[in-house]
Amino acid sequence: MVYFLSDVHLGYGTQEHARQREALLIELLSVIAPTAEVLFIVGDLFDYWFEYRTVVPRAFFRTLAALDQLRRAGTQIEYIIGNHDFGHHDFFEKELGIVLHWQDIERTIHGKRFYIAHGDGKVAGDWGYALVRPVLRSRLANVLYRWIHPDIGISLARLSSHKSRQRTMQWDDGTSDSLETFAEQKICRDGMDYVVMGHRHRPAMKTFSCGDHVGTYINLGDWMSQPLVGMFDGERFLLEPVERVIASAVL
């Protein structure tokens, strides 16, 4: 089984809610371990992340340990960086053996073509972010930022993340969905079977038919409103509530 999750936004909200979300994630990671060939983290796992050469944010150590355990159980983990958790360096790769991607990826899974992207920079009205994205992600900005004391640097990352999310929520006006348009292009123009994204904070599963080709766009939603996990068994793609996946694994 191949699993997909995105926009968990660990660290967001009251400490109680953040901890609940984290506990749910950790439970999910442990129940999928026996069946998970691959886990794709489709961005914004953390509400903020900034790491230094020798320091990582302590608030997430439980999740880091759970990811480590899943890796040791033999699951391959690929992590597409989102717009909230771009402060990565090499901790995930070097300490956890998780493959980090700074760009969208394409994979063939059980003969089906997948296009996997967080979705930032694709939403209409996101042009402000499209302009600052290369700056935020630049090597120079990263190096300079690392000169700030971690207690201050990580607080700043947290603060700027809060601003960024307020913006993301404003797109949720229901008038147009450019991620859907993007997905349709990937399916109809590039022949993808599945396009999996997050970022929009609104779950979706929509099939597009073009000629004799049929493809499906999946949006994984977000964990603040309804924690979901995408599951592909080689035949079907399911978008399931995390609680249900945990409950059925326990039975």
7 binds Mn ion (CB under 5 A): yes
Looking at 6-14, 45-53, 55-63, 238-246, which segment touches Mn ion (CB under 5 A)?
6-14
Span from 42-50, 56-64, 107-115, 209-217 in contact with Mn ion (CB under 5 A) = 42-50
Cβ-contact 239, 217 below 8 angstroms = no
Q: Using the rule CB under 5 A, is 44 a contact of Mn ion?
A: yes
Considering the rule CB under 5 A, would residue 193 count as an interface residue with Mn ion? Answer: no
Q: Check binding of 47 to Mn ion (CB under 5 A).
A: no
Residue nearest to Mn ion (CB): 44
Q: Report the C-alpha gap between 215 and 206 in whole angstroms.
A: 8
Q: What would the 3-class secondary structure string for the chain be?
A: CEEEECCCCECCCCHHHHHHHHHHHHHHHHHHCCCCCEEEECCCCECCCECCCCCCCHHHHHHHHHHHHHHHCCCEEEEECCCCCCECCCHHHHHHCCEEECCCEEEEECCEEEEECCCCCCCCCCHHHHHHHHHHCCHHHHHHHCCCCHHHHHHHHHHHHHHHHHHHHHCCCCCCCHHHHHHHHHHHCCCCCEEEECCCCCCEEEEEEECCEEEEEEECCCCCCCCEEEEECCCCEEEEEHHHHHHHHHC
| Segment near Mn ion (CB under 5 A); pick from 40-48, 129-137, 171-179, 180-188 | 40-48
Binding region for Mn ion (CB under 5 A) out of 43-51, 53-61, 103-111, 146-154: 43-51
| Least gap, CB of 47 to Mn ion (angstroms) | 8
181 vs 225, beta carbon nearer Mn ion: 225
120 touches Mn ion (CB under 5 A): no
CB of 120 to Mn ion, least distance (A): 8
- Asked if residue 85 binds Mn ion (CB under 5 A), the reply is no
- In angstroms, give the least distance from the CB of 122 to Mn ion: 13
Comparing CB distances to Mn ion, the nearer of 44 and 51 is 44
Which range, of 24-32, 36-44, 46-54, 139-147, touches Mn ion by CB under 5 A?
Answer: 36-44
Binding residues for Mn ion, rule: CB under 5 A, are 7, 44
